Homo-oligomer: A and B are copies of this chain.
Amino acid sequence: MTSLRGRGGVGRGPESRRGGEMAAEQDPEALAAARPLLTDLYQATMALGYWRARRAREQAEFELFFRGCPFGGAFALAAGLRDCVRFLRAFRLRDADVQFLASVLPPDTEPAFFEHLRGLDCSDVTVRALPEGSLAFPGVPLLQVCGPLLVVQLLETPLLCLVSYASLIATNAARLRLIAGPKKRLLEMGLRRAQGPDGGLTASTYSYLGGFDGSSNVLAGQLRGVPVAGTLAHSFITSFLGTEVPPNPAQEIRKIFRTISAQFQVPWLESVSITVSNNINEEELARLAQEGSEVNVIGIGTNVVTCPRQPSLGCVYKLVSVGGQPRMKLTEDPEKQTLPGSKAAFRLLGADGEAPPTPRGPSQVPRPPALFLAHTGSPLLDVLQLVDEPPPQAGQELRVWPRGAQEACTVRPAHVEPLLRLWVRRGQLCEPLPSLAESRAFAQLSLSRLSPEHKRLEQPAPYRVALSDKLRALVDRLCAGGPS
């Protein structure tokens, strides 16, 4: 596995002063958000069911993923892992929590069940995940969570809550950055429009990760190291003037600055930074980003923070194996079918600066040409396979089954990247999490490699996710009701 720090190449942010680990203990805000009762009641009901069936400690694995990219695009950015790790490390039911659960569960619930809850923590939980800032695609796990069935079931709701919105915001911010281009400064200013106080904190954190330059939210600076910036309010002006003069368009303001600068010989005034903000959405931002715009800084509130075009990512958390046996959800809607078994995920890439790889050798199925249209060095497709299969090899032809397609295709990648990294092994952090600034740089690097056909914001070409032969065969067996 490659080092994230090597890729990002930027200095470590304030978080790294704590040695790269989340210092949950020093952060009452995190402790509050990390409450284990931030979950759906049915998780506790199911926990009781598992406990009564003597299955509480059975080894289970869940995958957290989304089914469709947000905002009509073809990519998302993975985010929220740092909050998940903070949550897992602090996860423990206090006496008051257990007492509250006792008050809402059936009155005949066995006291021994509550004793079991009192002893719970995440010391047997293992988490693999996409590094924050990674490109994420439908069906590829953002998180794989393994551990005792009862505990990993209880984690469902909080992990979904922490990952879904973070990834949605990061993706929204990345889209806005793509529109604005690299030079405009983008500030998130949406705290007042956010869905609750830490809706605001989450938005400030992950819009920075997704490509914004900073936020007006001071708490995001204090707790997360997000650069903070701001302007001033109408009320500041009216408090001095009584009434407020309507603002001029930015172009006019620059002319005024130039005139004053020349007339009174104050050269710095000519190039003073102009900030605009007022209901800026993707369309308005595209206008402001045009050549010749005199605007330097663009503040975006509601449209980055609440994601009005699609205010939820709709991540799901699905059981893929229990007691070593693969599990699968079959539904009438093939979109909602899950992929069974413990899996590995790889990203297959084209060559850097070379011609696209020429397929050679025998091939049983026709190759869809779209796979080879990608720019060299760009991701071609993601492959999901069973965890015990050998990884795909660079330069070697591979037969895979793209999801949603009826036929297999072959691909010969110039590079192969494993996607899921081991972050938490039996409750212990395996390596320091990258700083927020590093994840931000990684997100920009990831996006820069994505082919324009997948990166464009309207009607992009879908990026393919494919299954290995063995995984495909397992799906077929389980669909047919056969043995796993």
A interface, CB within 8 angstroms of B:
28-29, 31-33, 35, 37-46, 49-50, 53, 55, 60, 62, 96-97, 100-101, 104, 149, 153, 156-158, 160-162, 164-165, 189, 191-203, 216-219, 221-222, 228-236, 238-240, 242-246, 302, 305-308, 310-312, 314-315, 317-319, 322, 325, 327-332, 478, 481, 484
**Is the beta-carbon distance between B35 and A29 smaller than 8 angstroms?**
yes
**A83 CB → nearest B CB, Å:** 9
**A187 CB → nearest B CB, Å:** 10
**Is the beta-carbon distance between A191 and B161 smaller than 8 angstroms?**
yes
- What are 6 pairs between A and B in contact, CB < 8 Å? A29-B32, A37-B219, A53-B240, A195-B199, A235-B327, A302-B314
**Is the beta-carbon distance between A222 and B31 smaller than 8 angstroms?**
no
Give the contacting residue for A233; candidates B46, B196, B481; CB below 8 A. B46
User: Which residues of B are found within 8 Å of A233, using beta-carbon distances?
Assistant: 42-43, 46, 153, 156
Give the contacting residue for A161; candidates B100, B194, B230; CB below 8 A. B194
**Is the beta-carbon distance between B195 and A318 smaller than 8 angstroms?**
no
With A39-B218, A161-B194, A195-B195 given, can you name 5 additional A-B contacts, CB distance below 8 Å? Answer: A38-B200, A38-B201, A40-B216, A41-B216, A60-B239
User: Which residues of B are found within 8 Å of A195, using beta-carbon distances?
Assistant: 165, 194-196, 199, 202-203, 306-307, 311-312
Q: In whole angstroms, how far apart are the Cα atoms of A195 and B305 in the complex?
A: 9
**Is the beta-carbon distance between B40 and A189 smaller than 8 angstroms?**
yes
Given contacts A192-B161, A239-B60, contact A33 B216 (CB under 8 A): no
User: Which residues of B are found within 8 Å of A228, using beta-carbon distances?
Assistant: 41, 104
User: Which residues of B are found within 8 Å of A31, using beta-carbon distances?
Assistant: 28, 32
**Is the beta-carbon distance between A229 and B41 smaller than 8 angstroms?**
yes
**Is the beta-carbon distance between B222 and A100 smaller than 8 angstroms?**
yes
Which residue of chain B has the shortest Cβ distance to A197 in the bound complex? B33
User: Which residues of B are found within 8 Å of A55, using beta-carbon distances?
Assistant: 239
**Is the beta-carbon distance between A197 and B38 smaller than 8 angstroms?**
yes
**A189 CB → nearest B CB, Å:** 7
Q: In whole angstroms, how far apart are the Cα atoms of A302 and B35 in the complex?
A: 22
Which residue of chain B has the shortest Cβ distance to A238 in the bound complex? B327
**A201 CB → nearest B CB, Å:** 7
User: Which residues of B are found within 8 Å of A43, using beta-carbon distances?
Assistant: 230, 233
User: Which residues of B are found within 8 Å of A332, using beta-carbon distances?
Assistant: 246
User: Which residues of B are found within 8 Å of A231, using beta-carbon distances?
Assistant: 42
**Is the beta-carbon distance between A196 and B193 smaller than 8 angstroms?**
no
Among A235, A310, A322, the one with the most B-chain Cβ atoms within 10 Å of its Cβ is A235
Given contacts A40-B189, A196-B199, A200-B38, contact A104 B307 (CB under 8 A): no
Given contacts A39-B219, A230-B41, A318-B235, contact A244 B197 (CB under 8 A): no
Which residue of chain B has the shortest Cβ distance to A47 in the bound complex? B236
**Is the beta-carbon distance between A158 and B197 smaller than 8 angstroms?**
yes
User: Which residues of B are found within 8 Å of A318, using beta-carbon distances?
Assistant: 234-235
Which residue of chain B has the shortest Cβ distance to A484 in the bound complex? B242
Q: In whole angstroms, how far apart are the Cα atoms of A138 and B233 in the complex?
A: 21
**Is the beta-carbon distance between A329 and B201 smaller than 8 angstroms?**
no
User: Which residues of B are found within 8 Å of A197, using beta-carbon distances?
Assistant: 33, 38, 158, 161-162, 198
Which residue of chain B has the shortest Cβ distance to A97 in the bound complex? B222
**Is the beta-carbon distance between A39 and B191 smaller than 8 angstroms?**
yes
